[in-house]
């Protein structure tokens, strides 16, 4: 059939502006055909080109002496962890697909991020996720939540990778537009880093993996537009269908092939599928590439070149092979029972040439397509809503009538409540490397010798020491909504604090910037300010950004989501004995608060944007607590120093819900070997802490605070050591081993039965999902 005429309507349907079309004409020197228009549509979409954010992303710190592969060079960054070993990790989103088809959207998000890791030559060893939904009172939200969790569980469990932690938050702003951000981490030797470049003119290009279908068609373009009911229905076919068993075969085969040295370049077919993998590898290699679509395995009849190029069918790889070593590729993929096809070769003319049965159907300069997408500097202005939210004064917040009831209410708030309903569906112990399971400040995994990809058959055996890695994902979207700069600084600080509380020194960070439509100046201002805060904090903590993802157009017809710059961070635990969990340990242990109890420079005393303000007063207002990066850094160094002395038995940071919630979680969050709760009572005396309001003292969310325990004998020395390092430290209580949490403030005494607190904290989400 003849291709349709390229009309302004067709151009608009492809999400290409008139100005961008003029640029395409300049690049090609002629009018594009429909297939070429589709190629530009996906490659110049925000999802693939970052055309609205590239200038901002360049402000991130991306270099350090430990960086092996920097952000933007490849599919994922790689950081040195000593002894010739590296860690690759990345955070990606699958938001719009999960809103349309929650199970497959989430499942294929997991598959895609895993491919990004083993494409680097690393063996994936652990996953995490960061999820956002509307209110659980909504049947539709419960359906989305159930489907997303099932999809993540299905893919991770089937492929045999532990999902070791994450976060789940609920807020009305995510109604209809959930966020599904998935993190994966893998390990490798320095010598095993693989590159995604089409090197070597004349080298053959192999397609590996299942046949191409019509699922996932133009998914990158779908992710680069506002999500509406109409667009969701139209783009249901843009959601891919995943097969974790096929991915497992593909991963093992690719890692085995990489060990042979036969691979000149490797790239997964993720967003924009075959189009992206071909033009990006050619652009990185400074070469060209030619493929014939008739050689591409196809599972649907009568597929057009347009469909084959833009399909995002899953579990597919593009491999550039050193000429003369084709038989090794065929042997390994036949061994793993994986489909393969030799579809083209590397050329030296810089062009991406696509043929179909020998007939040229697309000719585009590869580097222009991959690297020279339009770059926009969008208008920005401070959002009007901030005038109202900043107007909140401490006097406007009524005194808390019943702090005892407030704590139980906070612990049952889905954002704070235990996420066991989620993680009990994940196999977080597979591979037998999980040291700290979901439920503490950060996950910790043991990286054993068998975690690394195999060496070539003729390579001498090497001794690989055990390593211990901690990982976390964090973001307080409400704080970012109320102050994108301060809230984003605090997001990085909380991620680093969670690692430090687990005994790890942070190595590096990855981010997933989830925001609304960048054409709206107020929403773009949120993004600019957020990036400024993230960059400043990552610089302060020495945690370079190794890569990540930008997900824009996250909004429904009512409005945009709260700006959500999710941060994933990885740290290294130097010694096994430094691994620290959050729950209280032994009777008579001293409980110490590190950091200033309440930031007196904050006019709202930590109540701005707090969980208490939302649950008790129904207000998402105020200025969030400021984040002092110098004080945060001092706290991290002091805590790591204390952990290294062996004095610290537990450590837990104060975040949502403040000090009272942190104390309660330390009392109720431990599980015994039989998977039953171990409740540990404490007596707390806050008389020495200076604060004019009880609600701010108990539930304010000032940053830079950690609750630790030591033995009675070590308490005095620990406090003095912290003070010498410039960190406020005060003993606030004792572990009693009883059945209650008791807090005394002067003449006032509050007492909570731990079994009641545990019940609402542990069971709230499960009960909501039974509705």
Q: How far, in Å, CA of 576 to CA of 518, rounded?
A: 45
Q: What is d(CA 691, CA 745) in angstroms, rounded to the nearest whole number? A: 10
Q: Which two tokens stand for residue 631?
A: 């004080």
For residue 594, list its beta bridge partners: 706, 729
Catalytic annotation, pick one of 14, 47, 154, 428: 47
Q: Confirm if 86 and 122 have CB atoms less than 8 A apart.
A: yes
537, 735, 533, 517: which is closest to 636 by C-alpha?
A: 537
Q: What are the CA-CA distances from residue 471 to residues 126, 383, 495, 668, 716 (Å)? A: 10, 34, 9, 22, 31
Q: How many CB atoms lie within 10 A of CB 7?
A: 9
Nearest to 510 by CA among 481, 484, 483, 534: 534
Exposed (0-12), middle (13-18) or buried (19+): which is 601, by Cβ within 10 Å? exposed
Helix (H, G, I), strand (E, B) or coil at 40: helix
Neighbours of 225 (CB within 10 A): 17
Say whether 154 is catalytic.
no
Do the Cβ atoms of 611 and 413 come closer than 8 Å? yes
Is the distance from CB of 509 to CB of 60 less than 8 angstroms?
no
Q: What is the 3-state secondary structure (H, E, C) of 70-116?
A: CCCCCCCEEEECCCCEEEEEEEEECHHHHHHCHHHHHHHHHHHHHHH
For residue 446, the SS3 value is strand
Report the relative pairing of strands 77-80 and 67-69 from DSSP bridges: antiparallel
Phi, psi for residue 36 in degrees, rounded to 5: -65, -35
Q: Which 8-state DSSP code applies to residue 314?
A: S
Query: Please, is 361 exposed, middle or buried when counting C-beta atoms within 10 Å of its C-beta (0-12, 13-18, 19+)?
Result: buried
> Which residue is it, tokens 């390593």?
467
438 strand-pairing partners: 440
Q: What angle do CA 286, 287, 292 make, to 5 degrees?
A: 145
Catalytic residue (one of 14, 94, 154, 758) = 94
DSSP reduced 3-state for 712: helix
Sequence-separated (6 or more) residues with CB below 8 Å from residue 29: none
Neighbours of 18 (CB within 10 A): 10
463 labelled catalytic: no
Phi/psi-derived region of residue 82, left when phi > 0, alpha when psi is between -120 and 50, beta in every other case: left
Q: Are strands 590-594 and 729-735 parallel, antiparallel or unpaired?
A: antiparallel
Q: 237, 219, 225, 111: which is closest to 177 by C-alpha?
A: 225
Interior angle at CA 317, CA 552 and CA 296, nearest 5:
110
Q: What is the DSSP letter of 579?
A: -
Residues involved in catalysis: 47, 94
């Amino acid at each position: 059939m003849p291709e349709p005429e390229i009309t302004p309507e067709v151009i608009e349907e492809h999400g290409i502006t008139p100005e961008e079309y003029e640029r395409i004409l300049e690049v090609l020197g002629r009018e594009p055909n429909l297939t070429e228009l589709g190629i530009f549509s996906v490659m110049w979409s925000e999802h693939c080109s970052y055309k609205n954010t590239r200038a901002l992303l360049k402000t991130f710190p991306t270099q350090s002496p430990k960086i092996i592969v920097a952000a933007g060079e490849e599919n994922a960054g790689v950081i040195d962890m000593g002894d010739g070993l590296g860690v690759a990790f990345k955070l990606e989103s699958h938001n719009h697909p999960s809103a349309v088809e929650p199970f497959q959207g989430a499942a294929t998000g997991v598959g895609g991020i895993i491919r990004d890791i083993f494409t680097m030559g690393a063996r994936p060893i652990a996953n995490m996720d960061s999820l956002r939904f509307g209110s659980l009172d909504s049947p539709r939200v419960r359906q989305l939540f159930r489907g997303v969790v099932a999809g993540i569980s299905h893919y991770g469990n089937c492929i045999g990778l532990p999902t070791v932690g994450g976060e789940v938050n609920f807020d009305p702003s995510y109604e209809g537009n959930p966020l599904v951000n998935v993190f994966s981490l893998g390990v490798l030797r320095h010598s095993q880093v693989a590159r995604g470049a089409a090197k070597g003119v004349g080298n053959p290009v192999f397609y590996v993996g299942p046949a191409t279908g019509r699922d996932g068609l133009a998914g990158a373009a779908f992710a680069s537009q506002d999500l509406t009911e109409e667009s969701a229905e139209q783009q249901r076919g843009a959601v891919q269908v995943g097969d974790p068993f096929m991915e497992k075969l593909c991963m093992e085969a690719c890692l085995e092939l990489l060990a042979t040295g036969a691979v000149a370049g490797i790239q997964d077919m993720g967003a924009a599928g075959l189009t992206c993998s071909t033009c990006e590898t050619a652009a990185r290699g400074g070469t060209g590439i030619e493929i014939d679509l008739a050689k591409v395995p196809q599972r649907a009849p009568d597929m057009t070149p347009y469909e084959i190029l833009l399909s995002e069918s899953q579990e597919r790889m593009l491999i550039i092979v050193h000429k003369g070593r084709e038989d090794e590729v065929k042997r390994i993929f036949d061994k793993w029972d994986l489909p393969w096809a030799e579809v083209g070769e590397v050329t030296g003319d810089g062009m991406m040439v696509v043929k179909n049965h020998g007939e040229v159907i697309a000719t585009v300069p590869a580097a222009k397509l991959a690297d020279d997408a339009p770059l926009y500097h969008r208008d920005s202005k401070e959002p009007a809503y901030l005038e109202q939210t900043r107007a909140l004064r401490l006097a406007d917040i009524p005194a808390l009538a019943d702090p005892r009831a407030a704590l139980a209410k906070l612990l049952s708030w889905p954002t704070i409540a235990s996420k066991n309903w989620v993680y009990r569906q994940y196999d977080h112990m597979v591979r037998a490397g999980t040291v700290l399971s979901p439920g503490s400040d950060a996950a910790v995994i043991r990286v054993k010798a068998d975690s690394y990809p195999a060496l070539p058959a003729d390579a001498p055996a090497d001794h690989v020491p055990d390593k211990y890695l901690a990982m976390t994902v964090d973001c307080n979207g409400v704080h970012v909504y109320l102050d994108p700069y301060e809230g984003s600084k605090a997001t990085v600080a909380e991620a680093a604090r969670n690692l430090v509380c687990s005994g790890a020194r942070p190595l590096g960070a990855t981010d997933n910037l989830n925001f609304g439509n960048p054409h709206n100046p107020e929403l773009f201002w949120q993004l600019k300010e957020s990036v400024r805060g993230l960059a400043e904090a990552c610089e302060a903590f020495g945690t370079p950004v190794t890569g990540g993802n930008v997900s824009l157009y996250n909004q429904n017809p009512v409005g945009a989501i709260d700006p959500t710059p999710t941060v994933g961070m990885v740290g290294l635990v130097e010694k096994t004995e430094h691994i620290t969990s959050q729950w209280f340990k032994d009777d008579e242990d001293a409980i110490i608060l590190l950091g200033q109890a309440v930031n007196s420079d904050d006019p709202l005393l930590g109540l701005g944007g707090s969980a208490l303000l939302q649950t008790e007063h129904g207000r998402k207002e105020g200025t969030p607590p400021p984040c002092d990066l110098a004080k945060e850094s001092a706290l991290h160094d002091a805590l790591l120093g204390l952990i290294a002395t062996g004095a610290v038995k537990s450590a837990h940071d104060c975040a949502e819900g403040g000090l009272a919630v942190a104390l309660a979680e330390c009392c109720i969050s431990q599980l015994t070997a039989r998977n039953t709760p171990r409740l540990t009572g404490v007596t707390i005396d806050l008389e020495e802490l200076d604060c004019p309001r009880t609600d701010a003292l108990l539930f304010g969310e000032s940053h830079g605070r950690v609750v630790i325990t030591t033995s009675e004998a070590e308490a005095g020395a620990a406090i003095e050591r912290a003070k010498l390092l410039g960190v406020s430290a005060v003993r606030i209580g004792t572990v009693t081993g009883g059945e209650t949490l008791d807090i005394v403030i002067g003449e006032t005494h509050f007492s909570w039965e731990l079994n009641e607190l545990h019940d609402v904290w542990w069971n709230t989400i499960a009960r909501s999902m039974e509705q």
